[in-house]
Amino acid sequence: MGTGKRGLLTAAVTVVCAVTVLAAPGTAFAAERPTPGGSATPGASAAPGATPGASPSPAPPPNKDLEKVRARLDRLYHDAAVATDAYNAAEEKTEKQSARIEVLTQKITEGQEKLERLKDQAGASARAQYRTGGLPPTAQFLLSDDPQRFIDGAGTVLNGQRATDKLIGEMTRTQRDLRDYADDAAAQWRKLEVNRKAKATAKKRVERQISEAERLEDRLEKKEKERLAQLEAQAAHKAQTKWLDTGVLDDVKGKASEQGRKAVEFATAQLGKPYVWGAEGPDSYDCSGLTSQAWADAGRPIPRTSQEQWKQLRHVDVEDMRPGDLVIYFPDASHVAMYAGDGQIIHAPRPGRTVTVAGAGTMPILGVVRPDA
């Protein structure tokens, strides 16, 4: 959280207390599942001797140790993706609560100023009464011997009483509003603290998983890394081919909407930028950071995380998808990509990779959602 935001929250608490190009396709996060083709990425096991076609030349049959490494990397990056989603969700809630506290702080400040003005009016009324000898207006006009003055005084008293009632009512409402604002701000502060802790926990988990994956990869020899990259590329190519062979694209003829076209253009312009967990541009992205920013640029804000995008956006059949739609992957909705047409997606794969193009079928598809439905 930045210094400005901390200052805002401190001010809020104080007030409350006072009141009362297409880069080689990369992989997504998965555990022992197919991953995007065309790049060195963790993914599902490739059948030995599988022919990748246009993909890199076949690698020698893998040894069991290398397969274990690949499976371990898959699990680590998948866990990192889940933790990243948890971090992003907590961050989004934190921002909303901070904004709410800012609004409440302003309302509390305005309410206090209003209450001070009302107190000044009440004081002025009390001083006026003192200047008339302490007699209230009712007693003054009842003691008058002048009939006309009596009549005029009756109207004055009635108006004065109304003004007094209004003043008392306004003060009561203002005090009640201040208490409500203070209670609301205190509740938002408690929620903020809960989500700050959730962010911190998720951050530690992300960093731990990524650090372990990096250490594991660093222990590989150069030739082992090359073989691992070939295996990953083969697995991704095999998964994409199997998906295409189902004929799924035969019925996919949807054309992008105007907003969908803009979202794809934005995503395309980010190709080659690095994946950084928790990032949403402009220099780096994670998977849902890319899709949410692309649609925000197209004029359609959507939820920040892949899981919330899956929950909140309209679901469409794979056969009905069109460019700009979001493809959600894995049973836990831990990865999201943007469909770009012709069976391809644009996505931010995982740490160590860049925003890239991959086959839409290189990971197990959970479903498709449409932001501008």
313, 326 in Cβ contact below 8 A?
yes
57, 230 in Cβ contact below 8 A?
yes
Q: How far apart are the C-alpha atoms of 182 and 186, rounded to whole Å?
A: 6
Among 17, 78, 237, 287, the active-site one is: 287
- Greatest pairwise CA separation for the chain in angstroms: 119
Annotated active-site residue 237? The verdict is: no
Q: How far apart are the C-alpha atoms of 15 and 185, rounded to whole Å?
A: 9
Annotated active-site residue 287? The verdict is: yes
End-to-end Cα spacing for the chain = 34
Annotated active-site residue 78? The verdict is: no
98, 192 in Cβ contact below 8 A?
yes
Q: Give the closest residue to 176 by CA, choosing from 80, 223, 108, 113.
A: 108
A 10 A CB-CB count for 2 gives 7
Task: Compute the half-sphere exposure of residue 277: CA atoms within 13 Å on the CB side of its CA.
Answer: 31
Among 78, 237, 315, 335, the active-site one is: 335
Q: How far apart are the C-alpha atoms of 129 and 125, rounded to whole Å?
A: 6
- 3-state DSSP call for residue 367? strand
Q: Give the closest residue to 40 by CA, choosing from 60, 51, 55.
A: 55
276, 353 in Cβ contact below 8 A?
no
285, 270 in Cβ contact below 8 A?
yes
- 3-state DSSP call for residue 320? helix
Q: How far apart are the C-alpha atoms of 117 and 107, rounded to whole Å?
A: 15
Burial state string for 204-215 with b = 16 or more CB within 10 A and e = fewer than 16: ebbeebbebbee
DSSP string, 154-203: HHHHHHHHHHHHHHHHHHHHHHHHHHHHHHHHHHHHHHHHHHHHHHHHHH
Q: Return the active site residues.
A: 287, 335, 347
